[in-house]
């Protein structure tokens, strides 16, 4: 599975809230990427200007990786107690770091901001 798929899911999760619409086709993603149906712990950290802007980490692994990515992205963006909810202007400059915690160790993927500068 490509890291861009995981980061695309994280971005789409945030965009669902910002745009107030459901856009993630869970059935299609689970069909295309069966690994997403497996339980796996993950963490999402949002960065704005190279500073943490929100974070969320799974503390359980009883749901699918797909649902964990969606859940953690939304929590990091809108419900982290240390920050106000993310707004669109910030989102466009936000970098997303996604870490998977596997039995073989940590796997980290990081996106670029949509707009740089």
pLDDT in tens, 68-102: 999 999 999 999 999 999 999 999 999 999 999 98
Give pTM, 2 decimals.
Answer: 0.92
Average pLDDT over residues 47-53: 95
φ, ψ dihedrals at 64, nearest 5°: -70, 155
On the question of pLDDT at 1 being above 70, the answer is no
Per-residue pLDDT averaged across 48-59, rounded?
93
Residue 3 has pLDDT above 70, yes or no: no
Q: Distance between CA 10 and CA 109 in Å, rounded?
A: 11
Q: What is the CA 31 to chain-centroid distance, rounded? A: 20
DSSP string over 85-101: PP-HHHHTTEEEEEEEE
Across all residues in the chain, what is the average pLDDT? 93
SS3 (DSSP) at 113 = coil
Residues in the chain: 117
Decide which of 3.40.190.10, 3.40.50.150, 2.40.128.50, 3.30.700.20 is the CATH code for 3-110. Answer: 3.30.700.20
């Amino acid at each position: 599975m490509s890291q861009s798929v995981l980061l695309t899911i994280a971005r789409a999760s945030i965009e669902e809230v910002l745009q107030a619409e459901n856009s993630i086709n869970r059935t299609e993603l689970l069909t295309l990427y069966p690994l997403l149906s497996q339980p796996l712990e993950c963490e999402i950290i949002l960065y704005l200007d190279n500073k943490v802007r929100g974070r969320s980490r799974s503390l359980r692994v009883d749901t699918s990786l797909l649902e964990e990515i969606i859940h953690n992205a939304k929590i990091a963006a809108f419900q982290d107690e240390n920050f106000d909810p993310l707004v669109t202007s910030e989102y466009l400059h936000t970098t997303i770091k996604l870490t998977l915690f596997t039995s073989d160790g940590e796997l980290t993927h990081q996106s670029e901001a949509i707009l740089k500068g």
